[in-house]
Structures are given as C-alpha cells and as structure tokens.
Structure 1
Amino acid sequence: MIATETRGGHKPREVGDGLWERIEPLLPVIERRLRSPVRRRLDDRRVPCGLLFVLSTGIPWRYLPQELGFGSGMTCWRRLRDGNEAGVRQRLHEMLLAEQRAAGIRDPSRASVDSSHLRAMKGGAATGPAPVDRGKTGSNHHVIVEAHGIPLAATLTGGNRNDVTQLIPLVRAVPPIRGKGGQPLRRPKRLHADRGYDHESHRDQIRRFEVTPHIARRGTEHGSGLGVYRWVVEGAIALLHWFRRLRIRWEVRDDIHQAFITLGCTVICWRRLRTPL
C-alpha cells in the first residue's frame, strides 16, 4: 500500500491510514504563520508519497511530477532533510520493530550481516574508489537483519572500506527494541557472517556484547553450512535494491542517502508487519 509507482507499471498510491497514523505523531511541529505572504505549506501527508515515489522510481528530484500532488522535488528534499535531522525515520523504524516484537514476528535468537556495493555517480561524503568496480567511485550498504530477514540497522561507507570494519558499528547500531514488558532487546544471541568478516579481534569484540559469532574462516572450503542462516540478509539487500534510488547513489550528501536507506528499511518492516510469515 505504500509502494509508489509511475509510468511503465508504476502508479502513484497514497500512504495508507495505518502507516500515516504512525508517522504523524513523529513529525516536528511547525508553527503556522497565518498572515505570512508566502504560499501555504504543503500538506504533511503528501510529502511521504513524494519521498516514496522518488525512492521507488529513482526519478531525479527536479522531475518529480507536480501534477501528482506531491509538491516540488525541492520541497520533498527539504522535508527529507529536516525529517532526517529530527530522527523521524529512525524512530518510525524502531516503532515498527517494536510492533513486530509484540506480534511475535521477530526472531531475536540470531542475526546476519552482509554488504553490497553501488556506484556513486556524483561522489561526495562516504564514497571511495571501489576495488570491486575497477576503482570507480562508489559506496557500500552494510546491513544487519534478524532471523527472518527484517532489517535491524543499515549503514553507509565508502566503496573502499572493508566489510569487517563495519561489523562492530552494525552491532552497535541495532536499536533497543521494545514491544513487550521488561528490558528492551538490544543484541541477538548469535551472529552469522561470511569470510569477509573473518578476524579474531572482531570475534572477541562480538563476544563482549554477549553475542556468539558464527563467521566462516578464510582459506577453508565452501560449505560451512552458514548459508542456511545467511541467505536472509542477501534477500534483504535484494529488497532494498528493488528501490531504484538505492541501486545507484545520486546524492552528494551522505546523510540524504542514509535517510533513503532507513526509509527503505522502514518500508520492508511495514510490509512484513502487514503480511507476517
């Protein structure tokens, strides 16, 4: 209900009542100046539609069709920036994770991590020469998911950053997840990763979080058996890259692209909440 589509199979859709009821209380309060000569502020409910349209189609901001009622691309860009600075999308993501825990959808027993590379066409912060793309400028998406593939956190780095450097930041980025009585959940019991994360010092640090690491070792034959658990993170990354705005990075500002990543994770969480396994 929140996927927005345009020509060629993409039809714009409204943000559903259920999702809007969760978004509205999180938005910063803007004082309305009734006698101001400037034009009337765009309805807050229209902006998420425009942001989801850009996320899904990858359309440049300046080409956002105003006849759809989403406002100008610059208006949506500013709202995305302001909402990101106010932590709206992060809090919405955490709220949906808490609802999933309350509904018994989440499996906190284990988590998996992985990363994916994308080209950064305009450079900017959190970019670098990618060894997997002949040294061209790019970025990496780093994702941690729970046992069913629900994204818990995602970070952005330059394309020249090794996966293992983001293992600890990803674990730390997992928010405290409420939804039931008692202490909120913060860490999974087990963590699965491929050979790119093989480093003893990082294993020791993971254990300090009271998490058991299950990381394939370099130099060993394939067939470690971890793929039975790890495939969910690869599926989550594929879902994130279904959003065209996350296949190629067009944003010079890393905080704007990070906002799109968090928005993509939120969409996946909302769909899973509405359609549990």
Structure 2
Amino acid sequence: DLPAEMGVCGMTCWRRLRDWQAVGVWQRLHAELLARLRGVDRINWERAVIDSSSVRAVHVGDHTGPSPVDRRKKGSKHHVLTDAQGVPLASSVTSANRHDSTQLRKLVQSVPPVRGKRGRPRRRPKALLGDRAYDAEPHRRWLRLLHIRPFIARRRTPHGSGLGKERWVVERTIAWLHQMRRLRTRFERRADIHQAFLTLGCALICWHHLQPS
C-alpha cells in the first residue's frame, strides 16, 4: 500500500519488517529510547501498571481466537506494561481468548535492561498494579521474590479498590496505540509481524515522551 512516488517496493519493506523483527531490531530501538528517557529522568520506577485490550483480526492467523468482548469474532489481545507515567516498558500479542494473567510474568521478564545512567541498568519497578484479571497468589509470591510489591485487585470483592486513580495511565497508553491504524485492527496473519507493529507503536510513544512539552 506504499505510494509509488516513495520509490520503495512494498514487498521489500515487508521483508525488512519481518527480518528486522526476527533479529530484534525493533526491540533494540525500543530499548534505546527507554535508555534516553531514563537519562533525562522521564521513567518513573516507583510502580508499573499492567493491562490488556482486544482488537478485531481481519484474517485468521497466529494468536487469534474468539473474542469474548466482540461476539466471539476472531481477535487478538494487546498486553502492555507501562511505568507510572504511561511509558510502555513491554508488550505482547496473544489470542483474544487468552487470559490476562498468563502474560504477567512474561511482560515483567520482557522489560529490557534500561541503561541511560551510570551504574547497573534498571529493569524492575518497585511495585506492580493490576486489575482483578491478574488476581493469583502465585503471581504475588513471584513478584515479592523479585522485590516488586504487588497491588492487584482481588476477585469477589466490592469495586472501589482505589487502584483506578493510578491504573488509568496504562489505559491511556493502550488508547494511544489503538489510534494507529495497524494496531486498531489486526490485518496481519503472522503474529510476529503484528508484534513488530506493536513494538514500533511502543517506540513511537517513547519518542513522543522525549519531545519537549
């Protein structure tokens, strides 16, 4: 779909997207932008926030499944972990019917070592906030072993945990991601290609955080 006046073959661009995803170029780009953000003190490690959102998949492909929020139409789910300001630290793609709790450990482990300052790279927040979908005692024990305080709402308790006033930043970040056409609806059959677009979307948000207000 690239305009012909750009002088670039669309298939060539697709192959570069695929190949660079395979060798980790987009992940390294995201990590470099995180390092620059840390260098100017724009990453808040006091807490991280986790959430997910489903999108419709136009084609059947890897990591698609019946969406419980879209009349069981084929869809995928974007899982995102941000810092306390909404800076995306890690992301993943699963089928829409995959439970959120299955991605908590993966996302925490996927945060790259963030450089940008003298000393050891940083990759662990002091606390993690999540809604009831992540309620599981094994997760809490695992987070404590990593010296991360878990603040996860519990199931079968009245609403009003108070976490919403701090969790909204991840919902805003997901809304920013879904303003991008390739992420608002999934067109790719291959999950690795869609993950490449999701990682690029996170990198773009980091870039915008770097710009002057």
TM range (shorter): over 0.9
Q: Residue 219 of structure 1 aligns to a residue in which SS? A: coil
Mind listing any 5+ residue stretches in structure 1 that lack a counterpart?
1-62
The aligned counterpart of 1:251 is 188
Q: Residue 102 of structure 2 aligns to a residue in which SS? A: helix
Higher CA-based Rg = 1
After TM superposition, give the deviation of residue 70 of structure 1 in Å. Answer: 5.2
Which stretches of structure 1, 4 residues or longer, exceed 6 Å deviation after superposition?
A: none
Q: Kindly indicate whether residue 158 of structure 2 is the aligned counterpart of residue 221 of structure 1.
A: yes
Q: Greater relative contact order (Cα 8 A, min sep 6): structure 1 or 2?
A: 2
Distance of 1:132 and 1:205 partners within structure 2: 30
Q: Residue 161 of structure 1 aligns to a residue in which SS? A: coil
Instruction: Work out which of the residue numbers 198, 201, 205 in structure 2 matches 1:268.
Output: 205
Give the TM-score of the pair, scaled to structure 2.
Answer: 0.97
Q: Deviations over 1:42-79 (max 9, x none)?
A: xxxxxxxxxxxxxxxxxxxxx32112x15122121111
Q: Residue 131 of structure 1 aligns to a residue in which SS? A: coil
Give the TM-score of the pair, scaled to structure 1.
Answer: 0.75
After TM superposition, give the deviation of residue 86 of structure 1 in Å. Answer: 2.2
The aligned counterpart of 2:47 is 110
Distance of 1:255 and 1:231 partners within structure 2: 28
The aligned counterpart of 2:57 is 120
Q: Kindly indicate whether residue 2 of structure 2 is the aligned counterpart of residue 64 of structure 1.
A: yes
Instruction: Work out which of the residue numbers 64, 70, 81 in structure 1 matches 2:18.
Output: 81
Mind listing any 5+ residue stretches in structure 2 that lack a counterpart?
none
- Counting only pairs closer than 5 Å after superposition, residues 48-197 of structure 1 correspond to structure 2 as 63-67=1-5, 69=6, 71-197=8-134
Q: Deviations over 1:101-130 (max 9, x none)?
A: 110111111000000001111111111112
Q: Residue 114 of structure 1 aligns to a residue in which SS? A: strand
1:262 to 1:102, Cα distance in 2 relative to 1, 3 A = same
Identity %, equivalent residues:
57
Q: Residue 192 of structure 1 aligns to a residue in which SS? A: strand
What's the RMSD between the two structures over aligned residues? 1.1
